[in-house]
Amino acid sequence: MDDVIGSIGHAITLAKRLREISKNIEDAEFKNLLADLNLELADTKLALADVMEKNAQLRTELATIKHSQGGISIEPLTFREFAYFTEGNDGPFCSKCYETANQRIRLKKVTGAFSTFGHTQCPSCEQFYDGKI
Ligand SMILES: [Zn+2]
C-alpha cells in the first residue's frame, strides 16, 4: 500500500512540474490534458484514502473477531468412540452440536445420580454420552 501511495505522490509531483513547464507552452490541448491528469490524480488519491480507511476498519473488525474467539481454530475434528476430538486430543466435543450446527461444544463430566444417563453431557443441547473422558 505504501508503494501505491508513493507512486501517486510521485505522479502528482511530476504533474506539478509539467504544469510549471506548460507556462512556457501555448498549446491549449496540452494544458487541457494536463488539467485532466491533475483531476484524475486527485480523484485517485481520494479513492485510495477511502480504501485505506476501509482496510483499517476491516483489520480492526478482524482483530476483534479473532480476539473474541481466542484465535480462529481451523484444527479439524475426528470422531472417536462417542465424541469429536482434535488431533491434539482436545475435546471431547458434542457430536450432535458439531454435526447439526457446526458448533464445538465441549462436553462436561457428569457426576452423582445423573451419571446413570452417561459419563458426559453437552452443556448446550444437554445430550448425555456414555463415554469416559
Ligand atoms: Zn450438544
pLDDT (0 to 100) of residue 113: 81
Ligand 1 geometric centre to CA of 120 (Å): 11
Lookup: cell for 133? 473422558
Per-residue pLDDT tens, the chain, 133 aa: give them.
667 778 888 888 888 888 888 888 788 888 888 888 888 888 888 888 899 899 999 998 888 887 776 655 568 899 998 999 998 889 999 999 999 998 999 999 998 888 788 899 999 999 999 876 6
88 and 122 belong to one structural domain: yes
Please give the grid coordinates belonging to residue 125: 443441547
Burial of 123 from C-beta contacts in 10 A (0-12 / 13-18 / 19+)? exposed
Output the CA 126–ligand 1 centroid distance in Å.
6
| pLDDT of 32 | 87
Domain extent, residue 106, equals: 77-129
Domain finish residue from 68, 95, 120: 68
Residues 60, 88 within the same domain? no
Q: Are residues 64 and 81 in the same domain?
A: no
Q: What is the largest CA-CA distance in the chain?
A: 98
Same domain, residue pair 92 and 55: no
pTM: 0.46
Q: Output the CA 16–ligand 1 centroid distance in Å.
A: 66
Q: Do 12 and 48 have their domain in common?
A: yes
Residues 109 and 85 in one domain: yes
Q: Which grid coordinates belong to 104?
A: 464445538
Tell me the CA–centroid distance for residue 70 and ligand 1, in Å: 21
| 61 in the same domain as 17 | yes
Q: How do beta strands 108-109 and 77-80 pair? A: unpaired
Question: How many angstroms separate the alpha carbon of residue 54 from the centre of ligand 1?
Answer: 38
DSSP structural state of residue 93: B
Which of 68, 88, 111 terminates a domain? The answer is 68
7 and 52 fall within a common domain: yes
Give me the pLDDT at residue 121, please: 94
Predicted local distance difference test score (pLDDT) of residue 126: 94
| Euclidean distance between CA atoms 54 and 62, whole angstroms | 12
Domain match, 116 and 95 both: yes
Question: At which residue does the C-alpha cell 509531483 appear?
Answer: 13
- Amino acid at position 34, single letter: L
Rounded Cα distance, 22 and 20, in Å: 5
Distance 65 CA to ligand 1 centre (A): 23
Is residue 7 domain-shared with residue 54, that is, in the same domain? yes
Separation of CA 89 and ligand 1 centre (Å): 18
Count of domains observed in the chain: 2
